[in-house]
Amino acid sequence: MLCPVMHKKPIKKTTQYPNNIAVEQVTERVAMCGRKQSVFFRVHYSELSHWRKNEGKHDDMFGLCDKHAPSFERLKAWNVVLEKYHSAVSGLRGRVGSVERIAAGSVDLDALAKEDKNQRKIAAVKSNIKRTMNQVNTKNLTVEHWRQCFEETLNEWITETVMKS
């Protein structure tokens, strides 16, 4: 897995015009670091983003590279906004309230981080399902109807997956 820290990166662009005139422009764009993760942190959110409120998962695990890890031990660094839609770390789901460094020990931190990423996906799917369950056109369905729906959906998905492989 790669370091998700976002930073401004200078981009050089050379435009070649007729008569051998070359114009070089330097612009900045926000890009992900992308180095190998080596230091892991668990962040606890004080508030989830409004589109994440129904997910029910209030902490995430992030792996950062050796270069960025020291500056992200402080809480303030996690809540920095680089541009309108880019937070300091890709994948944050809200305002960070506390940060703890996870000590390397007997636990495989890389596998733990991958599982945490899967848990984030599950939380997002659950949020979408709850939104569907609360829509006006599905309000009259009972708990048994929903159980039947989930069971049939899972069985159909398994069958389709087996048929495709």
89 forms beta bridges with 5
DSSP 8-state symbol, 106: S
**Tokens encoding 83:** 């541009």
Query: Is the CB of residue 127 less than 8 Å from the CB of residue 55?
Result: yes
Q: Provide the pLDDT for residue 98.
A: 92
CA 107 to chain centre: 22
pLDDT tens sequence across 8-32: 788 888 877 787 777 788 888 888 8
Taking the C-alpha atoms of residue 62 and residue 101, their distance in angstroms, rounded to an integer, is 10
Does residue 129 surpass a pLDDT of 70?
A: yes
Sorting pLDDT into bands at 50, 70 and 90, what band is 84? Answer: low
pLDDT value of position 55? 82
> CB neighbours (10 Å) of residue 73?
14
pLDDT in tens, 26-46: 888 888 888 888 888 989 999
Distance CA 115, CA 164 (A): 26
Q: Is residue 120 predicted with pLDDT exceeding 70?
A: yes
Highest mean pLDDT: which of 42-46, 48-52, 108-112? 42-46
DSSP state of 68: T
Decide: 132 and 115 in contact? Cβ < 8 Å.
no
Please give the Cα distance from 95 to 89 (Å, whole number).
11
pLDDT at position 83 is 66
pLDDT at residue 91 greater than cutoff 80? yes
pLDDT for 85 equals 63
pLDDT in the model for residue 106? 58
Sheet holding 94-102, edge to edge: 59-64, 39-48, 94-102
**Closest C-alpha among 130, 114, 95, 96 to residue 40:** 114
Residue 165 has pLDDT above 90, yes or no: no
CA distance 162 to 148: 21
Share of the chain above pLDDT 70, in %: 95
